[in-house]
C-alpha cells in the first residue's frame, strides 16, 4: 500500500501515545482521520480540537460512513486492542487493509531518510532532542511522549526526513528502514514477549543489521558501531561537565572535531547521555556542531520525564514515566544529585504483572533507596493477574521500614503525612493522570 493512495485512515486505539502521533501526521498531510478509544483523555481532546472525529463506544454503527469504504481506507490498530473488539472484527470480516501501528511507521520510514532511536531506556527523550535539532531541517518526528517545546508528540516538517522511536516491544523496530540509528541500552525488559534476555539482545542485533548508513551505540553494549560515552574513550565523548544556573555545561569531542560549553537544562547524567546520542546522530548526518549547540540550549524536555509539577523552596513534585528498575535508579540518582539533604518520598505504580514478577528483586532494591515508599496497586494494562504477584508482595521485598501500600483516594493524605519536601510520582500506568489532582491538592495545603 502506498500512502498517496490512502484517503481515509481509521485508528482503533487512537488515544495511545504512538497512535495519536500517526493520527496527527495523517491529518497534517491531508487525509481524513477518525478513530475509536475507550477513554477520553487530554490527547483525545486535543485530537478532536484539530478536527479528528473520535468516539468512545465500541460500536460498528459509530464508525463514520466515509471510513466504511474499503477501497481507500486504511485501518490502524494497536496490539492493546482485544481480539473480540467489534470494530476491529468488522474491518477484518469486510476485508479492509489493516495494519499495526509499527507497520504503518515502517511504511512511512521506507520513503524517508530515517533516524531511528532504539534502546530499552532513553528512547523518548533522545528522539525529542534529535527531533528538536533536526526541526530546522524540516524533519518530521514521531515521539513517544509530549515534547514541551512543541506541546505535541509530532514535530511536523516535511516528508523527506523522519525521526522515530524504534520500539523493541513485539519486535516492532524490525519494521523500520533506518539510515542512521542509535542503541542507548539493552537491559532485560519485555520478557513476557521475549522469554529470555538473550532473545531481546538478538532482536537488537537484527535491528542493527538493518541500519544502512551509521549506527551509534552506547559504549559497552557489545554491538559494533560508533561509540558514545561520558568521561571515557569513545568516538563521541563528553568531558568537563559542570553545573551553573540550573544548566549542565559540558564539552563534546567527535571523531573529527570538538565543541565547548554546550548548555543543557535537563537534570541527571542519563540525560546528558541522551543528548550525546542525539548529537552523534545529527553530526553523522552533517548538522553543524554550532547548530546542534544552539538547539540543545533551547530544548525544554518531555512531559513525564523528570517533569517538575511543583518547584518551590518548600515542596518539589516530580512526575516521571519510570517503570523499570534501571529507570527508577536514574530518578533516584538525579534527586540525590539535586537535593542531597532533603527528605524524599516515592509513589510508585508497578506496570504489568509480568514485569513486576520478572524484576521483583531489582524493583525492591531500587525503591528501597528512597527515604519513604508509597506503593499503588499494579496497573495491569494488557494483562490478566498472575497468582501471587501483587504490590503487597513487592512491599514485603523492600528492605526499608518506611513503606506502605496506598490507594488513589488516600494518596494526598499519605504524601502530606510523609513530611517529605521532594515527592516523586513514578510509573507508566494511569498514575500520570493522578499527578494534576495531586498537584492541585498539595498546592492548596
Domain count, the chain: 3
Q: Do 159 and 276 lie in a common domain? A: yes
* Residue 105: inside a domain: no
pLDDT in the model for residue 433? 87
pLDDT in the model for residue 195? 61
Cα(217)–Cα(236) distance, integer angstroms:
10
We report the CATH number of the domain holding residue 414 as 3.90.190.20
Among 274, 298, 322, where does a domain finish? 298
* CA dihedral (151, 124, 395, 193) positive or negative: positive
Q: Do 333 and 215 lie in a common domain? A: no
* Residue 88: inside a domain: yes
157: containing domain: 112-298
Cα(96)–Cα(383) distance, integer angstroms:
28
pTM metric for this prediction: 0.84
* Residue 104: inside a domain: no
- Residues in Cβ contact with 306 at an 8 Å cutoff, skipping those fewer than 6 apart: 266, 267, 268, 271, 318, 320, 331, 334
Question: What values do phi and psi take at 263, rounded to 5?
Answer: -105, 135
User: Cell numbers at residue 148, please?
Assistant: 514541551
Among 243, 276, 298, where does a domain finish? 298
pLDDT in the model for residue 194? 59
* Residue 291: inside a domain: yes
Kindly list the averaged pLDDT for each block of 10 residues, start to end, along the chain of length 445: 85 95 96 95 94 96 93 90 94 96 92 94 94 98 95 95 88 90 79 69 92 96 93 94 83 96 90 96 97 96 90 93 92 90 97 94 98 97 91 97 95 95 95 92 84
Per-residue pLDDT tens digits for 182-231: 999 887 665 566 567 778 888 899 999 999 999 999 998 889 999 999 98
Cα(143)–Cα(123) distance, integer angstroms:
9
pLDDT in the model for residue 338? 84
- Residues in Cβ contact with 84 at an 8 Å cutoff, skipping those fewer than 6 apart: none
User: Is 306 within 8 Å of 126 (Cβ atoms)?
Assistant: no
Q: Pick from 165, 122, 115, 143: which is nearest to 275 by CA?
A: 122
Q: Do 323 and 372 lie in a common domain? A: yes
Cα(417)–Cα(150) distance, integer angstroms:
37
As a dihedral over the C-alpha atoms of residue 274, residue 291, residue 207, residue 272, rounded to 10 degrees, the angle is: -10
We report the CATH number of the domain holding residue 137 as 3.40.1190.10
Q: Do 182 and 289 lie in a common domain? A: yes
- The whole-angstrom distance between residue 227's C-alpha and the CA centroid of its chain comes to 23
Cα(406)–Cα(412) distance, integer angstroms:
10
Count of CB atoms situated within 10 Å of the CB of 213 = 12
Among 298, 317, 339, where does a domain finish? 298
Amino acid at each position: 500500500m502506498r500512502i498517496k493512495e490512502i484517503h481515509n485512515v481509521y485508528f482503533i486505539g487512537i488515544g495511545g501515545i504512538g497512535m495519536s502521533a500517526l493520527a496527527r501526521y495523517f491529518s497534517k498531510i491531508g487525509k481524513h482521520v477518525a478513530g475509536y478509544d475507550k477513554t477520553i483523555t487530554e490527547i483525545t481532546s486535543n485530537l478532536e480540537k484539530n478536527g479528528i472525529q473520535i468516539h468512545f463506544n465500541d460500536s460498528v454503527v459509530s464508525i463514520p460512513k466515509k471510513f466504511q469504504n474499503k477501497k481507500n481506507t486504511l485501518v490502524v490498530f494497536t496490539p492493546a486492542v482485544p481480539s473480540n473488539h467489534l470494530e476491529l472484527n468488522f474491518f477484518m470480516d469486510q476485508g479492509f487493509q489493516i495494519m499495526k501501528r509499527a507497520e504503518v511507521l515502517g511504511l512511512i520510514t521506507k520513503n524517508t531518510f530515517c533516524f531511528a532511536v532504539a534502546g530499552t531506556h532513553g528512547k523518548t527523550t533522545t528522539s525529542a532532542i534529535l527531533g528538536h535539532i533536526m526541526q530546522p531541517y524540516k524533519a518530521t518526528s514521531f515521539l513517544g511522549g509530549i515534547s514541551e517545546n512543541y506541546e505535541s508528540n509530532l514535530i511536523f516538517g516535511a516528508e523527506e526526513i523522519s525521526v522515530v522511536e524504534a520500539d523493541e516491544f513485539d519486535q516492532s523496530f524490525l519494521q523500520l528502514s533506518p539510515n542512521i540509528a542509535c542503541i542507548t541500552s539493552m537491559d532485560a525488559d519485555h520478557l513476557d514477549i521475549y522469554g529470555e534476555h538473550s532473545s531481546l539482545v538478538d532482536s537488537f542485533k537484527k535491528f542493527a543489521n538493518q541500519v544502512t548508513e551509521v549506527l551509534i551505540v552506547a559504549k559497552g553494549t557489545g554491538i559494533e558501531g560508533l561509540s558514545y560515552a561520558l568521561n571515557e574513550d569513545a568516538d563521541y565523548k563528553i568531558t568537563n561537565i559542570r553545573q551553573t544556573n540550573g544548566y549542565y555545561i559540558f564539552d563534546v569531542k567527535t571523531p573529527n572535531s570538538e565543541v565547548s560549553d554546550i548548555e543543557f537544562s535537563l537534570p541527571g547524567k542519563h540525560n546528558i547521555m541522551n543528548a550525546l546520542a542525539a548529537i552523534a546522530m545529527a553530526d553523522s548526518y552533517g548538522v553543524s556542531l554550532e547548530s546542534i549547540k544552539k538547539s540543545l540550549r533551547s530544548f525544554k524536555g518531555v512531559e513525564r520525564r523528570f517533569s517538575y509539577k511543583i518547584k518551590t523552596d518548600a515542596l518539589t513534585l516530580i512526575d516521571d514515566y519510570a517503570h523499570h528498575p534501571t529507570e527508577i535508579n536514574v530518578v533516584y540518582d538525579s534527586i540525590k544529585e539535586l537535593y542531597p539533604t532533603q527528605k524524599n518520598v516515592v509513589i510508585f505504580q508497578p506496570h504489568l504483572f509480568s514485569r513486576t514478577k520478572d524484576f521483583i528483586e531489582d524493583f525492591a532494591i531500587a525503591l528501597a533507596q528512597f527515604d519513604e515508599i508509597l506503593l499503588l496497586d499494579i496497573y495491569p494494562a494488557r494483562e490478566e493477574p498472575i497468582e501471587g504477584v501483587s504490590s503487597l508482595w513487592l512491599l514485603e521485598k523492600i528492605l526499608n521500614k518506611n513503606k506502605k501500600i496506598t490507594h488513589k483516594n488516600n494518596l494526598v493524605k499519605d504524601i502530606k503525612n510523609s513530611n517529605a519536601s521532594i515527592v516523586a510520582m513514578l510509573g507508566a500506568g494511569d498514575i500520570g493522570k493522578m499527578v494534576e489532582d495531586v498537584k492541585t491538592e498539595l498546592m492548596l495545603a
